[in-house]
Amino acid sequence: METTTITGLVATTPRHLVTAEGLPITSFRLASSNRRFDRAKMEWVDGETNWFTVISYRTLAVNTAMSVSKGDRIIVSGELLIRDWDNGTTTGTSIEVSASTIGHDLAWGNSNFTRTTHKADTE
């Protein structure tokens, strides 16, 4: 599994839905443009923006829908999924993160936490 941890800006209002089978899903676009170490130049540079679609399920999806807004700075940890798509008219590649955990990044602000569950949906 390609797990990765990303910090960045929530670029779209999180979309929340519940499937016909009752599975809660919340997704949003994340823009990450941290400084990075350019190995060609061997120096730190301002990074270009990496764009991700973050997808969460179950309890994490419900809490994310209630807590996360466009403009928030967050941390996401999860698994990278690179999907090529073709909708008939155009094709493209989307880079998704299937989130195991999401949180507000306290390097950028404060947050109040209200615990709601005694056991997360874990594997």
Count of residues of this chain found to bind a second copy when the rule CB under 8 A is applied: 76
Minimum Å distance from CB 15 to a second copy? 16
User: How far is the C-alpha of 113 from the C-alpha of 107, rounded, in Å?
Assistant: 16
Minimum Å distance from CB 24 to a second copy? 11
For the segment 3-32, give every residue that binds a second copy (CB under 8 A): 3-7, 23, 25, 32
Q: Which of 69, 79, 59 is nearest to 109 (CA)?
A: 69
Minimum Å distance from CB 34 to a second copy? 6
Beta-bridge partners for 56: 26
In degrees and rounded to multiples of 5, residue 63 shows phi and psi of -70, -35
Residue 50: Cβ within 10 Å count: 14
Minimum Å distance from CB 12 to a second copy? 16
The binding track of 30-49 with respect to a second copy, each residue x by CB under 8 A or -, is: --x-xxxxxxx-x-x--xx-
For the segment 52-111, give every residue that binds a second copy (CB under 8 A): 52, 56-60, 63-64, 66-69, 71-75, 77-83, 91-95, 98-111
Phi-psi region at 67: left, alpha or beta (left = phi > 0; alpha = psi -120 to 50): alpha
Q: Which two tokens stand for residue 104?
A: 């507000």
